[in-house]
Chain A
Amino acid sequence: GAGVSQSPSNKVTEKGKDVELRCDPISGHTALYWYRQSLGQGLEFLIYFQGNSAPDKSGLPSDRFSAERTGGSVSTLTIQRTQQEDSAVYLCASSLGPGGSGNTIYFGEGSWLTVV
């Protein structure tokens, strides 16, 4: 497809389990972002990738969260030992270059995570 693709679109998991969320950015986009949005809240920055490297991981909420990107393309966000407060929609976005330089960032439809 032409847009940012995320999977799974919905995930219900039990507290304490690990989950892996996948993002396939637009082809050729070097910049990739992960954001989290809780119900009725704004977007919370998690991590930024430029190519395969992550110069800014400052938004990851705890050491239970990790992310990687391989081949300058697909990224995975892993949450270990999920907690109920992790329930949110996890949005991936990509852009040709860094978003703060005026490049438009395009979002995927998100992965809706519910921890029960």
Chain B
Amino acid sequence: RKEVEQDPGPFNVPEGATVAFNCTYSNSASQSFFWYRQDCRKEPKLLMSVYSSGNEDGRFTAQLNRASQYISLLIRDSKLSDSATYLCVVGGSNDYKLSFGAGTTVTVRA
């Protein structure tokens, strides 16, 4: 079983729509969680950290469910510029190891 699993998508949505997707992780001792964004042929960039109580950053909302071992990302009012691959990143029980999911591709169409 992979440490971090994501639905690869693609999620094709019209501008203005809401899109949401999850990521599951296998290590119950994981302590840190992030969403990174990766544009085509570019490096990953931090979108947001995910906190236990859930957090929001503008149109983006992240949630953590420790009991079921998944995190989610919701994008409201989608923009064309939101088209990208979203990588789920989970920190393990040690203090440095990060595991990356293979990514969920989102395409926002006009």
Interface residues of A (CB under 8 A from B): 31, 33, 35, 41-43, 45, 48, 50, 55-56, 91, 97-102, 104-110
Contact = CB atoms under 8 A, between A and B. Distances in A.
B4 to A, nearest CB: 8
A107 B96 contact: no
Contacts of B45: 107
Contact of A98 (B34, B42, B44, B96): B96
Contact of B97 (A41, A56, A91): A56
A115 to B, nearest CB: 18
Given A104-B46, A110-B43, A42 B97 contact: no
Contact of B49 (A50, A102, A108, A109): A102
A114 B62 CA distance: 37
Contacts, number: 64
Size bracket of the B interface: 20 to 34
B87 A42 contact: yes
Contacts of A102: 31-32, 49, 91
Contacts of B44: 43, 91, 107
Contacts of A41: 102
B84 interface: no
B31 A100 contact: yes
Given A43-B87, A43-B100, A107-B44, 5 more contacts: A43-B44, A45-B100, A100-B32, A101-B95, A102-B31
A108 B91 contact: no
Contact of A100 (B46, B49, B92): B92
A104 B74 CA distance: 21
Interface string B56-76: 000000000000000000000
B98 interface: yes
A106 B95 CA distance: 17
